[in-house]
Structure 1
Amino acid sequence: MKHETEEISKQNRTPETWHGKRYYSLDAYFKNTFGHKLNKIAINAGFTCPNRDGTLDTRGCIFCSEGGSGDFAVSFPSIETDAPYVAYFQSYTGTYAPIERLESIYEQALSNAHVVGISIATRPDCLSDEVIALLGQLKARYPHKFLWVELGLQTIHEETTHYIRRGYELACFTRGIHALAGLEIPVIVHVILGLPGESETMMLETVDYLNTLPISGIKLQLLHVLRGTDLATDYEKGLFPVLSMEEYLHILMNCIEHLSPETVIHRVTGDGPKDLLIAPIWSSHKKKVLNALHHQMKLTNSYQGKHWKGTISHASGTSNAL
């Protein structure tokens, strides 16, 4: 395995240590940076979302559960652990509150001795100048901890974004990326593979577009159909199919091969709550999916950046991702 990893690194100048994987995973990043594995604890800090409170809509995005995509999140700040961890503000929109409340919540997390950094899931239309300024101040205030922002793009295609009720235009997302990059705040982008009406070519176009932006990480998420969502209603009407595991792995590997090797891959699948998951049921066996992905990538000599046409930004070939 060591020889194969070195060969992949030589071929496309990827980070030298991917810890046996054929892509630059978040786990590898943590081990390379901190010398050990880190847990990322999902937090519900009591936020809401402009897609739910009536500002844009009251129904949320078409795929989003009642938990605001934070179905495994724990209430903030009731976290009891002595191990170092990343505080992940996952539920709903993590910058959608008065600035004083945001500062108080982020400060409480960053000042915790066990928190090595925070990751804030939000929307680009909820990144006001005031919020951007606060994030910059916190970054300077806690130089020994990190601050990431996670943005839910899902797709670059306008027709799909209208269907899923995302509620903002691509230009808004791009402005948000550049505003955060100007403060050297890393951005992780969420992309959903298998959205209704999207071809493999369309999904690859989303990845190719992200390669042109100063992003640090990406989450490649399988589309889940969850109970209580409008997506579930459309699925039960037979309006769209879900991907089989074989179809998903093929598309996923293609996306990974097109992705810049400097981008840290935070997720390659997903595990929706079993009590809510309608389809695809195979996705509930996460370990099986990951094993199949790693086996297939090795079998076909697939690796991150294999079909990427960009250039590494640092001569050392190491990632500036996070």
Structure 2
Amino acid sequence: MKFNGSKEYNDFGSFIKSHFLEPVQKISIDIGFTCPNRDGSKGTGGCTYCNNNSFNPDYCKPQKSVSEQLNQGIEFFSRKGNKKKYLAYFQAYTNTYSDIESLKKLYLEALSHPEVVGLVIGTRPDCISTELIDFLSELSQTYFISLEFGVESTLNRTLEAVNRCHTFEETQKAYNLAKDKGLRLGAHLIIGLPGESKEDILNHAKELSKLPIHSLKLHHLQIVKHTMMAFQYKNNPKQFDLFNLEDYIDIISEFISLLRSDIIIERFISQSPADLLIAPKWGGLKNFEIAAKIDKKLKEKNLWQGKYYML
């Protein structure tokens, strides 16, 4: 089976081109929200691996309004030439963790920008409501609306160990609440969390395939500075089995073969700034370079997305 020409998996870039028929760029926005496992409502300290500075661009500051962040982000990307449309990406922390009226105001401010064609909202599965889903569903009749949940693991013991303060059952409930509402549903998964075996990781693909998701972001576990995991790694490195590049590519090729074939794979790695990254260090390879290596590995092993997927 072939995906979009020569690829062995359903890639995000091809989806964007076919959906929008023109270049579209995400602009990250930080609205200054927190998370229920940070502010004490469910826990404190946040996820043990999390340092939001590891992926927030410089223009993305909560002291600025949504419009200011969009304008500065658009100015940054427009220097590269081609005129584009943009998606407002509410990225940092939990972007549905507020009252419904505040959320409506923020989302509508983003959509009022003439060059913004939709929203991408990153959140937790325990921070949505029927009222919010209904509002986003209404917006989806006019705009592209993507709702992305941090799944991170399908194992409750792992979720507890990294202080997520929600269960996989809550994840399943959230997706069932949001399905068939006109929303693009995404999932984030971290590959290589402490205590997870190869069998556990491959089983994630099977469990994710049961969810009504449209897209998936895969992230390899990174140890970054100023996190609880950095402290744990320093004091007990043996509890971490961090992937080298070749082993990661190998397990991802198997993971893909177990994944439902219609799920769009948006990325394979996360990329923390060099000054924050402790381990593993893969020489600064970009997502597209890793993707090329994975596609090559799939061909070598005669694998493709969904080859071993079973209902």
Q: Flag whether TM exceeds 0.5 (same fold).
A: yes
Name the CA distance, whole Å, in 1 between partners of 2:32 and 2:291. 32
Please give the secondary structure, in 1, of the residue aligned with 2:216: strand
Name the CA distance, whole Å, in 1 between partners of 2:6 and 2:275. 33
Note if 1:153 corresponds to 2:139.
no
What is aligned with 2:255?
255
Equivalent residue letter for 1:244: N
Q: Deviations over 1:117-172 (max 9, x none)?
A: 11100011111233223223333xxx231111000011111211111111111221
Please give the secondary structure, in 1, of the residue aligned with 2:88: strand
1:1-150 paired onto structure 2 within 5 Å: 8-9=1-2, 18-67=4-53, 70-72=55-57, 74-75=60-61, 76-78=66-68, 79-80=70-71, 81=74, 83-139=84-140, 143-150=141-148
Note if 1:165 corresponds to 2:150.
no
Name the CA distance, whole Å, in 2 between partners of 1:66 and 1:304. 31
What is aligned with 1:12?
none
Name the CA distance, whole Å, in 1 between partners of 2:129 and 2:97. 10
Equivalent residue letter for 2:281: I
Name the CA distance, whole Å, in 1 between partners of 2:283 and 2:252. 14
What is aligned with 1:185?
183
| Residue 48 of structure 1, CA deviation | 1.2
| Residue 233 of structure 1, CA deviation | 1.2
TM-score normalised by L of structure 1 = 0.85
Please give the secondary structure, in 2, of the residue aligned with 1:77: helix
| Residue 241 of structure 1, CA deviation | 2.6
Aligned length: 292
Name the CA distance, whole Å, in 2 between partners of 1:116 and 1:130. 22
What is aligned with 1:196?
194
Name the CA distance, whole Å, in 2 between partners of 1:40 and 1:282. 25
| Residue 70 of structure 1, CA deviation | 4.4
Q: Deviations over 1:177-209 (max 9, x none)?
A: 011104232210111101111011111211101
User: CA contact under 8 A between 2:67 and 2:113: conserved in structure 1?
Assistant: no
| Residue 96 of structure 1, CA deviation | 0.5
User: CA contact under 8 A between 1:188 and 1:217: conserved in structure 2?
Assistant: yes
What is aligned with 1:210?
208
TM-score normalised by L of structure 2 = 0.88
| Residue 236 of structure 1, CA deviation | 1.5
User: CA contact under 8 A between 1:38 and 1:86: conserved in structure 2?
Assistant: yes
* Residues 269 and 70 (structure 1), Cα distance of their counterparts in 2 relative to 1, 3 Å cut: closer
Equivalent residue letter for 2:309: W
Gap regions ≥5 residues in structure 1: 1-7, 10-16, 311-322
What is aligned with 1:230?
228
Moved more, 151-160 or 73-82: 73-82
1:238-277 paired onto structure 2 within 5 Å: 238=237, 239-277=239-277
Identity fraction in percent = 33
User: CA contact under 8 A between 2:250 and 2:297: conserved in structure 1?
Assistant: no
Please give the secondary structure, in 2, of the residue aligned with 1:183: coil
What is aligned with 2:77?
none
